[in-house]
Chain A
């Protein structure tokens, strides 16, 4: 049968035209504006000056490292924690629906609201976290005020908020595994760990790949939470690429900011595409 006639290309048209006008064209234009000193009334072409300036900015190299830490930290934790939560929630306990709802709940609250709430919880002297630590006789850290810790505190909050989506993807992957495998394994006398290792993990590999890719890219682009919790501070200590780009933009350096955007785009391209290729090749095996 004629595949082309039964699946008309114009079905793509609405989605693609909106996407083209409001996403692709602005992105393409940004390459041009990244090579200008740009403000409201006009622009001056300046070649690669913005990129040079961007790389001489002391906080930039730092922010690239932070971006990597953030992306790897959040996606790593989500991939692992969400897997175990998902296994736990598919293990036939009675409260699974209730717990799943509870875990999903933070996802309903806006990132900015979560950031502000956790900022309060992480207050070094009055915050709930440190009061609990003090109750057990410890001395809690300055979660967001400590230069070496701020970024990791934001990572933990991100995981708290975002682990639910990863969990749901895993649950979807796990429940779609054919029950016969488990029954066969049970007959062979496999214990819980063996079942997990030999059936669940390999068979929910596609789900795991989705989680890795989605949370890794989400991590690379993350901005809202960092902005609402630390504003990139103390100083520049928790700045990531997205917040540096935003700061240049806020300062009115539109050309420079757009250059940062382009750098981020290239970085994501260099990391995420190969990662996805790699994961897909594993999947086929």
Chain B
């Protein structure tokens, strides 16, 4: 008897707490629709924490979603890991990854949420929409800002040697010669221990290519135009070859980070890189140092041909096979909201304009202001990998071969054409 009573009391108590709990959930649901949801996101190893963690914290606070970060290695190993995990069906819920040619190699329609046609999608500019689209679907939202690629230069060195910002390729070479002859600092920083950096000078010359041959990207995709035979495109290889004499002696052992150090410390005058480097230098050396780093595009042969090549922001992808697709979509939407971007620019300075027209704060680095001139003048072009799905897998190795003098510009251009052919075959393009 006693036991029964006890039981009844317990049951009542349970019911009360139960209903209270559900009432509580109801209340919370109004504010935090996804409270308690756990998601995972894959981010490249070594990505500056300030470029994502503030948003993740805000998502936790505002939406109640806990997002656990998982890292992937850089470069082709990272790409491979993603492919393997997509293939085996245990991909993270979210992922920050390149858009452009790398996207098309993933068969995105099978794995990622298609954002095409949503109100959100309408807010992105054309360059992002094109780069994140594949066969009519839009598979990512911008994870950050666009970023120009070009020549980062140390302004103190320029002052010391009385140099002017070059407007043509010949002027650039002349500047390199002045520094080389003085023999005090490295004219051009090479960081080929991180192989991917070897291709940046080549890729960052795309404005010139698209300016002189506006149909190149399209012709390249269809297989009609080649690097070895298109005059404008071949010029990029010649320019890369011309940089040979100016690198630091230990360029094969120098990493990207060491390159940042060299540029910031004034041990090297120029470094051809994307503007993302500015945030890195800012984190390591602070405001004063980073604002002594200026930026100009890889110059064309005439002033007219000089314009900025732009890297589209990385994309935030949502896994369409996630158990919490709605939460994933909500995160993607939130990520590009003004609220999120406000927090983002507070913690991590953007390296270029955002793809949804978000107004940049005045605190942006000197180098970013330098490149905004080209954005405002409309003298920009996306890097080739955002205009065509075809990008050779061995681009960095082919560039390294050329820079180390193992090949000539002609051989490198041909080798790259062959390398791209393999990608075209894999993508099912008819190149023969």
Interface residues of A (CB under 8 A from B): 37, 39-41, 44, 49, 53, 56-59, 119, 122-127, 142, 144-147, 231-237, 247-253, 256
Interface residues of B (CB under 8 A from A): 76-77, 79-80, 83, 86-87, 105, 107, 110, 192-193, 195, 249-253, 393-394, 397-398, 400-402, 404, 406-407, 415, 418, 422-423, 425-426, 428
Report B-chain residues with C-beta under 8 Å of the C-beta of A122.
Answer: 253
Closest to B407 in A: A235
Report B-chain residues with C-beta under 8 Å of the C-beta of A58.
Answer: 415, 418
Contact B418 A41 (CB under 8 A): no
Report B-chain residues with C-beta under 8 Å of the C-beta of A57.
Answer: 418
Closest to B253 in A: A123
Closest to B393 in A: A251
Report A-chain residues with C-beta under 8 Å of the C-beta of B79.
Answer: 250, 252
Residue in contact with B393 in the complex, picked from A119, A146, A247, CB distance below 8 Å: A247
Contact A39 B426 (CB under 8 A): yes
Residue in contact with A253 in the complex, picked from B251, B400, B422, CB distance below 8 Å: B422
Contact residues of B: prevailing secondary structure: helix
Enumerate 30 A-B pairs (CB-CB under 8 Å) in ascending A order.
A37-B426, A37-B428, A53-B422, A122-B253, A124-B250, A124-B252, A124-B253, A127-B253, A142-B253, A144-B253, A145-B192, A145-B253, A145-B404, A146-B252, A233-B195, A233-B252, A234-B400, A235-B402, A235-B406, A236-B397, A237-B401, A247-B394, A248-B393, A250-B393, A251-B76, A251-B393, A251-B422, A252-B83, A252-B105, A253-B426
Contact A147 B422 (CB under 8 A): no
Alpha-carbon distance between A236 and B415 when the two chains are bound, in angstroms? 12
Contact B422 A235 (CB under 8 A): no
Closest to A230 in B: B252
Report B-chain residues with C-beta under 8 Å of the C-beta of A125.
Answer: 249-250, 253
Alpha-carbon distance between A125 and B83 when the two chains are bound, in angstroms? 38
Could you list 15 further interchain pairs (A-B, Cβ under 8 angstroms) beyond the known A58-B415, A233-B192, A234-B192?
A: A37-B426, A40-B83, A40-B87, A40-B110, A41-B110, A44-B428, A56-B418, A123-B253, A124-B250, A145-B192, A145-B250, A145-B253, A237-B401, A250-B393, A252-B393
Report B-chain residues with C-beta under 8 Å of the C-beta of A142.
Answer: 249-250, 252-253
Q: How far is the CB of B394 from chain A (nearest CB, A)?
A: 7
Report A-chain residues with C-beta under 8 Å of the C-beta of B393.
Answer: 247-248, 250-253
Contact B406 A234 (CB under 8 A): yes
**A145 and B251 in contact (CB under 8 A), knowing A40-B87, A41-B107, A250-B79?**
yes
Alpha-carbon distance between A132 and B428 when the two chains are bound, in angstroms? 54
Q: How far is the CB of A131 from chain B (nearest CB, A)?
A: 13
Alpha-carbon distance between A58 and B251 when the two chains are bound, in angstroms? 25
Closest to B400 in A: A235
Looking at B77, B406, B426, the one whose CB has the most chain A CB atoms below 10 A away is B426
**A233 and B253 in contact (CB under 8 A), knowing A252-B426, A253-B426?**
no
Looking at A58, A142, A234, the one whose CB has the most chain B CB atoms below 10 A away is A234
